[in-house]
Amino acid sequence: MEQFRLPKIPMPPLGLPMSVQQVLAEAEQKLAHRPKLQRLFRNCFPNTLETATKLQDDGTTFILTGDIPAMWLRDSVEQIVHYIPLAKEDSELQRIISGLIKRHMACILIDPYANAFNETANDWHWSTTDVTEMGPSVWERKFELDSICFSIRLAYLYWKETNRSDIFNADFKAAMLTILKLWQTEQRHQELSPYRFERHNGIMIDTLRNNGLGMPVNYTGMIWSGFRPSDDACDFHYNIPSNLFAATSLRQLSEIAEFVFRDLALVAELNKLEEEVRHGIELYGTYRHPEFGQIYAYETDGYGNYCLMDDAGTPGLMSITYLNPEEASNPIYQNTRRFALSKSNPFYYEGKAAKGIGSPHTPPDYIWHMALSMQGLTAATPEEKLEMIAMLEATDADTGFMHEGFHADDPTQFTRKWFVWSNSLFAQLVYRAMKDGIL
């Protein structure tokens, strides 16, 4: 059996935390003048809790990615991150989010190279043709640099919002050390890494070339990644959005190491690695575009080869400021955003129904709802935010939910009718717009 999928798994009933109920009640009033948007928000904001969240007996939380019976580290964070601003005074949300953090640390200690995990050690896998060191708890073992960054993001944002440090236990410290060693190893992937991955399904973006080692790279100080946030193989294995994300994550880990664990030796190692990654991005990660000026490349190999594009997934070039708001004033980011939202980006599409960024992961002319939500979340003006909300509202194909990709001319042609991450990102955009008073 090449690809293992299950039908939708019935979820045990999980009552909505009071703070989530209060947001929904607030939206009933504030969105009353836009009934369709009101319905979309009512469906999408609690979607993670209503369809994908499972509380475990060991105190952890397992979050399905949606239509696949596994938990992606990346997806599960973004499926729940819009609840963090509500968690400070809500013990139910604290149980759910802290449980997910604990689950992530356990997963990292099981296999830091894996991107998706099973609920139990049931030996289920996305594909039975994978040539790599699989374990029974691992659903898929594509090494994607951004996956662990999201685990760090979740813990850091939760800590800052709630001021609760009970998540920082011995397992968290062990996971930090595992992450540091992993990323130091993957700075010199070809010389030091034990990681190999091949998938014999005839789809080349699903496997690594060169006997599972990936295409050659030069040392840059950046961290190697086998696959993109889309789960597609990198063309050149230094993914710039992921390395920018990793630099931010290292700074956050350093703060935790200093103020929670009081480990100054670890702080020094984390700071050194962050500096090396940022120096590598500065030297190797930008490209002088003839129209847009200096921009971030999407990928490079350190030998002077570049992939110039943007993908709808997070992290991408447009989402750099979503993950690190300090980049908003950086002229290189501003130039890059203009590039990503232009026809110079090979995955930017314009049609009768919408315009926006798609992905090589879906067919040509398919725009992703996640990209429209991200464009709104990173927009500099209220007008652009409102434009994105209106476009999202108009392209749900009257399903009441967001999707993965949809055809730029016909939103009724779409992929993934149950895609919880997309619902959550849309809900985050609308909720922020409500709080900012622009809706």
pLDDT at 66: 81
Amino acid symbol at 45: F
In a domain, 37, yes or no: yes
CA angle 136, 237, 216 (to 5 degrees): 105
Distance separating alpha carbons of residues 259 and 262, to the nearest angstrom: 6
29 class by beta-carbon count within 10 Å (0-12 exposed, 13-18 middle, 19+ buried): exposed
In a domain, 306, yes or no: yes
Total structural domains within the chain: 1
Using only C-alpha atoms, the chain has a radius of gyration, in whole angstroms, of: 21
Q: Is the dihedral of CA 72, 73, 76, 78 positive or negative?
A: negative
Among the listed residues 112, 18, 107, the one whose alpha carbon sits nearest the alpha carbon of residue 60: 107
Among the listed residues 383, 307, 293, the one whose alpha carbon sits nearest the alpha carbon of residue 337: 293
**What pTM was estimated for this model as a whole?**
0.95
In a domain, 277, yes or no: yes
pLDDT at 14: 63
In a domain, 187, yes or no: yes
In a domain, 5, yes or no: no
Could you list the beta-strand ranges (E) of 308-357.
Answer: 348-350, 355-357
Show the tokens assigned to 129.
């043709």
| CA 94 to each of CA 59, 81, 88, 156: distance values in angstroms, whole numbers, following the listed order | 11, 12, 8, 14
DSSP bridge pairs for 267: none
Domain that holds residue 150: 18-436
Domain containing residue 359: CATH number:
1.50.10.10
DSSP 69: S
144 contacts 225 by C-beta, under 8 angstroms: yes
Residues 6 or more apart from 62 whose CB is under 8 A from it? 53, 54, 56, 71, 103, 119
In a domain, 260, yes or no: yes
In a domain, 2, yes or no: no
In a domain, 255, yes or no: yes
Among the listed residues 170, 165, 11, the one whose alpha carbon sits nearest the alpha carbon of residue 106: 170
pLDDT at 67: 81
Q: pLDDT in tens for each of the 439 residues of the chain? A: 233 344 344 454 568 999 999 999 999 999 999 999 999 999 999 999 999 999 999 999 999 998 889 999 999 999 999 999 999 999 999 999 999 999 999 999 999 999 999 999 999 999 988 999 999 999 999 999 999 999 999 999 999 999 999 999 999 999 999 999 999 999 999 999 999 999 999 999 999 999 999 999 999 999 999 999 999 999 999 999 999 999 999 999 999 999 999 999 999 999 999 999 999 999 999 999 999 999 999 999 999 999 999 999 999 999 999 999 999 999 999 999 999 999 999 999 999 999 999 999 999 999 999 999 999 999 999 999 999 999 999 999 999 999 999 999 999 999 999 899 999 999 999 999 999 999 9
SS3 assignment, position 339: helix
pLDDT at 10: 45
